[in-house]
Structure 1
Amino acid sequence: MGAGAALRRGDIRLEHFKTDLTAGDRRSQAAQWAADETWVRCRKYENDPEYMECVKDILAHPVFNSMDQYIQHGNTTCKTHCIQVSYLGYRICRRYGGNWRSAARAGLLHDLFLYDWHTHARETGEHFHGFTHPRRALENACLHFQLTDEEQNIILRHMWPLTPVPPSSAAGFAIVWADKFCGGAETLGRLRHLRLLRMLQPARH
């Protein structure tokens, strides 16, 4: 089975990402995968036992699951976004090097700020969510989970270069890239959905 068909089925095992694909093909497949949340809703990531060994305690935790009540980008919840970032960061590290366990765990927790950032400024007067939420996420994560120094650094530095200090590890850079890639795909997916709805609306006379 080709990688494209596997992605359409939501089957995201590592072996479907062939080394003979061009960089453009890999980017196209990754964009398709990040914009389609079906694999998250169907919990296809559970088919990867090595990934699950890294993160099963976090995925089962009620605080992590509470992120499903907050929208992150478009129609994507914080929980879904974090799973996508976590798995993509994990897979990048498996392929290119880096601590994939740290990427998987920190990716799940990088946005554990636990509020609706769309209304946060109006409700609290804090207008710098992009700059402040990594530290809030880290504080919340440390309350509920045991994290290594590398995992803490990944969470704290994941907004680089918006925040000036870069992460200190390859896994940290994997999560920086995965976060921006998934966020962009989620936002563009929402825009495409809205454009399609407009096209389907009956013409006004």
Structure 2
Amino acid sequence: MMKDERKEQKRKEAFRKWARQHAKLRRNLRKHGGDILQSGNFKSTNSFIQHGSVSVHSHSIRVAECSLKLEKFLEKLGIHCHERDLVRGALLHDYFLYDWHDKYSHEKLHGFHHPHVALENASREYQLTPRERDIIQKHMWPLTLFHIPRCREAWVVTTADKYCSLKETLLERKGRNKNRKKSENHDAKDTG
């Protein structure tokens, strides 16, 4: 087998492995949070932007997937989480149901107040476990200084949320800068 064929074969196998893992993550999301994923209010979060151009809906699913990946890593270290609570808390952590970019739709200082609003909204629709409540209410730590996560599932979601938020924000900025440079190059060609 030639070198290029081996490379291609390795690339295809890596993709198949990723696809299997991703399918397993999605199955776990549906298994533990299918009712949330199908609810009208959760679906409505598609219309609210969270970071850059990423919707609250997409962000919440990303945080749940990242939380599951962190859980698998911790499991290898002998640290176990309640997967159902982890998934449901992650899906509902930003369940505030308004556009936080619209200054008239909510209290000021969204970052400080939205965990409480999300918890109230989720409590009205779902029977939350103490772990799920801890995840939702405390995911903004350390910004919400006195709301320290008490269970490991809340720590996992808090970490996953910070990672996903940073990634979404930086990738959006990178994309904007790339588009701006393309636009400037295009404008320079038009005037030159």
Same topology, TM > 0.5: yes
* 1:188 matches 2:166: no
Asked if 1 retains the 8 angstrom alpha-carbon contact of 2:49 and 2:55, the reply is yes
CA distance in 2, matches of 1:126, 1:47: 35
Query: What secondary structure is seen at the aligned counterpart in 1 of 2:108?
Result: coil
Q: TM-score, normalised by structure 1?
A: 0.76
Aligned with 1:104 (options 87, 90, 104):
87
> Secondary structure at the residue paired with 2:101?
helix
Greater Cα radius of gyration, structure 1 or 2: 2
Pair 114,45 (structure 1): closer, same or farther in 2 beyond 3 Å: farther
Give the C-alpha shift of residue 60 in structure 1.
0.8
Farther-moved stretch of structure 1 (193-202 vs 80-89): 193-202
Cα distance change, pair 134–184 in 1 and its aligned pair in 2 (3 A): same
> Does 1:6 find its partner at 2:19?
no
Q: Is the 8 A contact 2:115 2:140 kept in 1?
A: yes
Structure 2: gaps (5+ residues): 1-9, 75-79
Alignment partner of 2:128: what SS? coil
Please state whether the residue corresponding to 1:191 is helix, strand or coil: helix
- 1 CA distance for matches of 2:91 and 2:106? 27
Residue 145 of structure 1: CA displacement?
A: 1.2
Contact 1:109 1:137 in 2 (8 A): yes
Residue 18 of structure 1 corresponds to none
Across the aligned residues of Structure 1 and Structure 2, the Cα RMSD in angstroms comes to: 2.4
TM-score (norm 2): 0.81
Do the aligned partners of 2:48 and 2:56 also contact (CA within 8 Å) in 1? yes
Equivalent AA in structure 2 for residue 84 of structure 1: R
Other-structure match for 1:137: 118
Say if 2:30 is the partner of 1:52: yes
Query: Counterpart in 1 of 2:127?
Result: 146
Describe the shift of the 1:66–1:95 C-alpha distance in structure 2 as closer, same or farther (beyond 3 A).
same
Which runs of 5 or more residues in structure 1 are unaligned?
14-43
Q: State the Cα deviation string for residues 77-125 of structure 1 (Å, max 9, x = none).
A: 0000000001111221233032222111110000010111111x3x157
Segment drifting more, 63-72 vs 97-106: 97-106
Q: What's the secondary structure of 1:133's corresponding residue?
A: helix
Query: Which structure's residues are more often helix, by fraction?
Result: 2
SS in 1 for 2:31: helix
Return the offset for 1:57. Answer: 1.1
